[in-house]
Amino acid sequence: SAVAFPQKIATEQQSLMLVKRLLAVAVSCITYLRGIFPESAYGTRYMDDVCVKILREDKNCPGSTQLVKWMLGCYDALQKKYCTNYWLCLQTVTECYHFKFKYTHNGPLLDFSSKDKKSDSTVTCADTKKASILLIRKIYVLMQNLSPLPNDVCLTMKLLYYDEITPPDYQPPGFKEAKYEGMMFNEEPMHLNVGEVPTPFHMLKLKITTEKQRMENVDKNILKQEETAEPLQVCGVSRGDPEEENQDM
Protein backbone atom coordinates (compact mmCIF):
# COMPACT_ATOMS: atom_id res chain seq x y z
CA SER A 1 0.00 0.00 0.00
CA ALA A 2 3.01 2.32 0.01
CA VAL A 3 5.10 3.94 -2.70
CA ALA A 4 8.22 3.82 -0.59
CA PHE A 5 11.34 5.91 -1.03
CA PRO A 6 14.47 3.76 -0.99
CA GLN A 7 16.97 4.28 1.82
CA LYS A 8 19.64 4.73 -0.81
CA ILE A 9 19.89 4.92 -4.60
CA ALA A 10 23.14 3.12 -5.25
CA THR A 11 22.34 1.57 -8.63
CA GLU A 12 20.83 2.70 -11.89
CA GLN A 13 18.07 0.10 -11.50
CA GLN A 14 17.02 1.54 -8.13
CA SER A 15 16.91 5.00 -9.70
CA LEU A 16 14.88 3.76 -12.68
CA MET A 17 12.34 2.13 -10.36
CA LEU A 18 11.89 5.39 -8.46
CA VAL A 19 11.43 7.39 -11.69
CA LYS A 20 8.80 4.91 -12.90
CA ARG A 21 6.91 5.14 -9.61
CA LEU A 22 7.07 8.93 -9.57
CA LEU A 23 5.79 9.10 -13.15
CA ALA A 24 2.90 6.79 -12.25
CA VAL A 25 2.01 8.91 -9.22
CA ALA A 26 2.18 12.17 -11.20
CA VAL A 27 0.04 10.90 -14.11
CA SER A 28 -2.46 9.33 -11.71
CA CYS A 29 -2.67 12.53 -9.67
CA ILE A 30 -3.26 14.64 -12.79
CA THR A 31 -5.97 12.40 -14.26
CA TYR A 32 -7.69 11.91 -10.90
CA LEU A 33 -7.82 15.57 -9.93
CA ARG A 34 -8.92 16.59 -13.44
CA GLY A 35 -11.73 14.03 -13.32
CA ILE A 36 -10.61 12.08 -16.41
CA PHE A 37 -11.59 8.66 -15.04
CA PRO A 38 -14.11 7.51 -12.40
CA GLU A 39 -13.17 6.81 -8.80
CA SER A 40 -13.25 3.04 -9.45
CA ALA A 41 -10.25 3.35 -11.78
CA TYR A 42 -7.95 4.31 -8.88
CA GLY A 43 -6.45 2.63 -5.86
CA THR A 44 -5.22 4.37 -2.71
CA ARG A 45 -1.50 4.48 -1.94
CA TYR A 46 0.83 6.44 0.31
CA MET A 47 3.90 8.29 -0.90
CA ASP A 48 5.74 8.86 2.34
CA ASP A 49 3.05 10.69 4.39
CA VAL A 50 1.08 11.88 1.35
CA CYS A 51 -2.04 9.93 0.42
CA VAL A 52 -2.41 9.65 -3.37
CA LYS A 53 -4.57 7.87 -5.93
CA ILE A 54 -2.90 5.45 -8.35
CA LEU A 55 -4.48 4.60 -11.71
CA ARG A 56 -5.12 0.90 -12.30
CA GLU A 57 -6.63 -1.29 -14.98
CA ASP A 58 -10.41 -1.28 -14.58
CA LYS A 59 -12.39 -3.57 -16.88
CA ASN A 60 -15.33 -1.19 -16.57
CA CYS A 61 -13.20 1.75 -17.70
CA PRO A 62 -11.40 0.95 -20.99
CA GLY A 63 -9.76 4.36 -21.00
CA SER A 64 -7.86 3.70 -17.78
CA THR A 65 -6.74 0.30 -19.07
CA GLN A 66 -5.41 1.94 -22.24
CA LEU A 67 -3.52 4.59 -20.28
CA VAL A 68 -1.94 1.91 -18.06
CA LYS A 69 -0.78 0.08 -21.22
CA TRP A 70 0.70 3.34 -22.54
CA MET A 71 2.53 3.82 -19.26
CA LEU A 72 4.03 0.34 -19.53
CA GLY A 73 5.21 1.22 -23.03
CA CYS A 74 6.79 4.37 -21.65
CA TYR A 75 8.56 2.27 -19.00
CA ASP A 76 10.02 0.11 -21.76
CA ALA A 77 11.44 3.17 -23.52
CA LEU A 78 12.79 4.55 -20.23
CA GLN A 79 14.52 1.29 -19.38
CA LYS A 80 16.26 1.33 -22.77
CA LYS A 81 17.18 5.03 -22.29
CA TYR A 82 15.43 5.90 -25.56
CA CYS A 83 12.69 8.16 -24.18
CA THR A 84 13.46 11.87 -23.91
CA ASN A 85 9.95 13.35 -23.63
CA TYR A 86 6.55 12.05 -22.59
CA TRP A 87 3.51 14.19 -23.33
CA LEU A 88 0.08 13.69 -21.81
CA CYS A 89 -2.25 15.87 -23.88
CA LEU A 90 -5.89 16.81 -23.48
CA GLN A 91 -6.95 17.67 -27.00
CA THR A 92 -7.54 19.90 -28.95
CA VAL A 93 -5.08 21.04 -27.18
CA THR A 94 -6.53 22.20 -23.85
CA GLU A 95 -3.77 21.07 -21.50
CA CYS A 96 -0.46 19.32 -22.02
CA TYR A 97 1.69 17.70 -19.35
CA HIS A 98 5.26 17.42 -20.57
CA PHE A 99 7.60 15.03 -18.73
CA LYS A 100 11.24 15.26 -19.76
CA PHE A 101 13.82 12.59 -18.93
CA LYS A 102 17.60 12.78 -18.79
CA TYR A 103 20.04 9.98 -18.12
CA THR A 104 23.59 10.19 -16.78
CA HIS A 105 26.44 8.21 -18.25
CA ASN A 106 29.19 8.76 -15.70
CA GLY A 107 27.66 7.54 -12.47
CA PRO A 108 26.23 9.57 -9.63
CA LEU A 109 28.24 12.79 -10.07
CA LEU A 110 26.50 15.30 -12.32
CA ASP A 111 25.42 18.88 -12.70
CA PHE A 112 21.68 19.57 -12.66
CA SER A 113 22.19 23.09 -14.08
CA SER A 114 21.53 24.70 -10.75
CA LYS A 115 23.42 27.92 -10.15
CA ASP A 116 23.42 27.17 -6.43
CA LYS A 117 25.02 23.74 -6.66
CA LYS A 118 28.54 22.74 -7.55
CA SER A 119 28.90 20.61 -10.65
CA ASP A 120 30.50 17.80 -8.66
CA SER A 121 27.85 17.65 -5.96
CA THR A 122 26.18 14.31 -5.31
CA VAL A 123 22.44 13.82 -5.17
CA THR A 124 21.30 12.24 -1.92
CA CYS A 125 18.14 10.27 -1.23
CA ALA A 126 16.99 13.16 0.93
CA ASP A 127 17.32 15.50 -2.08
CA THR A 128 15.31 13.13 -4.28
CA LYS A 129 12.61 12.57 -1.66
CA LYS A 130 12.23 16.29 -0.96
CA ALA A 131 11.96 17.12 -4.66
CA SER A 132 9.47 14.28 -5.28
CA ILE A 133 7.10 15.37 -2.52
CA LEU A 134 7.32 18.99 -3.65
CA LEU A 135 6.53 18.04 -7.26
CA ILE A 136 3.41 16.09 -6.25
CA ARG A 137 2.38 18.92 -3.93
CA LYS A 138 2.61 21.44 -6.78
CA ILE A 139 0.63 19.18 -9.13
CA TYR A 140 -2.05 18.85 -6.47
CA VAL A 141 -2.29 22.61 -5.88
CA LEU A 142 -2.44 23.44 -9.58
CA MET A 143 -5.00 20.74 -10.47
CA GLN A 144 -7.29 21.98 -7.72
CA ASN A 145 -7.22 25.53 -9.02
CA LEU A 146 -7.38 25.21 -12.80
CA SER A 147 -10.72 25.92 -14.47
CA PRO A 148 -12.83 22.82 -15.26
CA LEU A 149 -12.19 20.87 -18.44
CA PRO A 150 -14.74 20.59 -21.29
CA ASN A 151 -17.12 17.65 -21.08
CA ASP A 152 -15.87 16.15 -24.35
CA VAL A 153 -12.17 16.15 -23.47
CA CYS A 154 -9.97 13.53 -25.16
CA LEU A 155 -6.64 12.29 -23.80
CA THR A 156 -3.64 11.26 -25.92
CA MET A 157 -0.03 10.37 -25.18
CA LYS A 158 3.13 10.99 -27.19
CA LEU A 159 6.68 9.75 -26.67
CA LEU A 160 9.74 11.44 -28.14
CA TYR A 161 13.08 9.67 -28.40
CA TYR A 162 16.80 10.34 -28.50
CA ASP A 163 17.33 9.77 -32.23
CA GLU A 164 21.06 9.11 -31.95
CA ILE A 165 20.58 5.95 -29.86
CA THR A 166 17.02 4.77 -30.61
CA PRO A 167 16.72 2.11 -33.35
CA PRO A 168 14.69 3.48 -36.31
CA ASP A 169 12.16 0.64 -36.08
CA TYR A 170 11.68 0.81 -32.30
CA GLN A 171 8.13 1.24 -31.05
CA PRO A 172 7.29 0.48 -27.39
CA PRO A 173 4.20 -1.64 -26.66
CA GLY A 174 0.97 0.30 -27.22
CA PHE A 175 2.51 2.96 -29.49
CA LYS A 176 2.78 3.54 -33.22
CA GLU A 177 4.85 5.91 -35.31
CA ALA A 178 3.44 9.39 -35.69
CA LYS A 179 4.56 12.70 -37.10
CA TYR A 180 5.46 15.33 -34.57
CA GLU A 181 3.63 18.47 -35.62
CA GLY A 182 3.75 20.47 -32.41
CA MET A 183 0.70 21.54 -30.41
CA MET A 184 -2.15 23.77 -31.50
CA PHE A 185 -4.16 25.66 -28.88
CA ASN A 186 -7.46 27.35 -29.63
CA GLU A 187 -6.68 29.95 -26.99
CA GLU A 188 -3.45 31.64 -25.92
CA PRO A 189 -1.25 29.05 -24.14
CA MET A 190 0.63 29.56 -20.90
CA HIS A 191 3.72 27.55 -19.96
CA LEU A 192 4.60 26.53 -16.40
CA ASN A 193 7.75 24.88 -15.08
CA VAL A 194 6.30 22.73 -12.30
CA GLY A 195 9.50 21.19 -10.99
CA GLU A 196 12.24 18.62 -11.36
CA VAL A 197 13.39 15.55 -9.46
CA PRO A 198 17.05 14.47 -9.58
CA THR A 199 18.48 11.08 -8.71
CA PRO A 200 22.12 10.06 -9.08
CA PHE A 201 21.25 8.49 -12.44
CA HIS A 202 18.16 10.27 -13.79
CA MET A 203 16.42 13.62 -14.00
CA LEU A 204 12.64 13.99 -14.35
CA LYS A 205 11.18 17.41 -15.17
CA LEU A 206 7.53 18.39 -15.50
CA LYS A 207 6.20 21.32 -17.49
CA ILE A 208 2.53 22.14 -18.04
CA THR A 209 1.05 24.08 -20.93
CA THR A 210 -2.57 25.17 -20.65
CA GLU A 211 -4.87 27.82 -22.02
CA LYS A 212 -4.10 31.09 -20.28
CA GLN A 213 -7.75 31.65 -19.39
CA ARG A 214 -7.69 28.46 -17.30
CA MET A 215 -5.10 30.10 -15.06
CA GLU A 216 -7.24 33.15 -14.30
CA ASN A 217 -8.47 31.74 -10.98
CA VAL A 218 -5.06 30.56 -9.82
CA ASP A 219 -3.53 32.66 -7.09
CA LYS A 220 0.16 32.86 -8.04
CA ASN A 221 1.10 32.81 -4.34
CA ILE A 222 -0.19 29.28 -3.86
CA LEU A 223 2.15 28.06 -6.58
CA LYS A 224 5.15 29.09 -4.48
CA GLN A 225 4.88 26.11 -2.16
CA GLU A 226 7.43 25.81 0.63
CA GLU A 227 9.10 22.46 1.16
CA THR A 228 8.21 22.67 4.84
CA ALA A 229 4.46 22.99 4.23
CA GLU A 230 2.12 20.50 5.85
CA PRO A 231 1.63 17.26 3.86
CA LEU A 232 -1.25 17.40 1.41
CA GLN A 233 -3.82 14.63 1.34
CA VAL A 234 -4.90 13.79 -2.20
CA CYS A 235 -7.31 11.04 -1.18
CA GLY A 236 -11.01 11.68 -1.33
CA VAL A 237 -10.77 14.96 -3.23
CA SER A 238 -13.82 16.00 -5.24
CA ARG A 239 -13.81 16.33 -8.39
CA GLY A 240 5.46 21.83 -24.77
CA ASP A 241 9.52 23.91 -26.41
CA PRO A 242 9.92 27.43 -25.19
CA GLU A 243 11.29 25.77 -22.07
CA GLU A 244 13.77 28.31 -20.84
CA GLU A 245 11.22 31.13 -20.98
CA ASN A 246 8.42 29.26 -19.28
CA GLN A 247 6.96 30.54 -16.03
CA ASP A 248 8.16 28.76 -12.93
CA MET A 249 5.77 27.55 -10.26
Is 2 contained in some domain? Answer: no
What pLDDT does 181 receive? Answer: 65
- Evaluate whether residue 226 is within a structural domain: no
Count the residues in the chain.
Answer: 249
pLDDT at 205: 94
In a domain, 202, yes or no: yes
pLDDT tens for 103-122 read: 876 543 333 344 444 334 57
In a domain, 38, yes or no: yes
The verdict on residue 109 lying in a domain is: yes
Number of domains in the chain: 1
Regions in the chain scoring below 70 on pLDDT? 1-4, 91-92, 105-121, 180-182, 216-249
pLDDT, residue 82, reads 93
Which structural domain, as residue segments, surrounds residue 86?
Answer: 12-214
In a domain, 1, yes or no: no
For 163-216, the pLDDT digits (tens) are: 888 999 999 988 988 876 667 787 888 888 899 999 989 999 999 988 888 776
Q: What is the CATH number of the domain that holds 144?
A: 3.30.900.10
Question: Is position 59 within any domain?
Answer: yes
What local confidence, expressed as pLDDT, does residue 121 receive?
A: 56
Could you tell me the pTM of the whole model? 0.80
